[in-house]
Structure 1
Amino acid sequence: MREWRFVLSKKWLGYLGVAVAFALICVILSHWQWDRRTENLTELNRLNANYNAKPVEVTSILPSLTSYTANDEYRPVKVTGTYLADKFFLARDRSYNGFPGFEVLVPLKTASGDVFIVDRGWVATGNTHDYPDSIPAPPTGTVTVTARLAASEPQISGRTDVPNSNEVAVIGLKDLQSKLQLPTYTGAYGQLVRESPSVAKLPFLAQKPTIDYGLNLSYAIQWVMFAVAAFGFLIYVIRREYDLRYSDEEDQQWLDEMRAYKKAKRGPDDKEIEDELLDKAGYEKSRPGEQVGTGR
Structure 2
Amino acid sequence: MSEGHSHGASASSKRLAIALALTTTFLVAEVIGAIVFKSLALLSDAAHMMTDVAALAIALAAIKIGERASDDLRTFGYRRFEILAATFNAVLLFLVAGYVLYEGILRLFSPEPVGSTGMLIVAAFGLGVNLISMRLLAGGADTSLNVKGAYLEVWADLLGSIGVIGGALVIMTTGWTWVDPIVAIGIGLWVLPRTWILLKNTTHILLEGVPKGLSMSAVRATIAAVPGVTDVHDLHLWGVSSDDVNASVHLVIAEGQPPEPVRFAVLTKLDEVHGIEHATVQVELGPDGDKTGPGHGDTPHA
TM-score under structure 2 normalisation? 0.28
Q: Larger Cα Rg: Structure 1 or Structure 2?
A: 1
More contact order relative to length (CA 8 Å, sep ≥ 6): 1
Where is the strand percentage greater, Structure 1 or Structure 2? Answer: 1
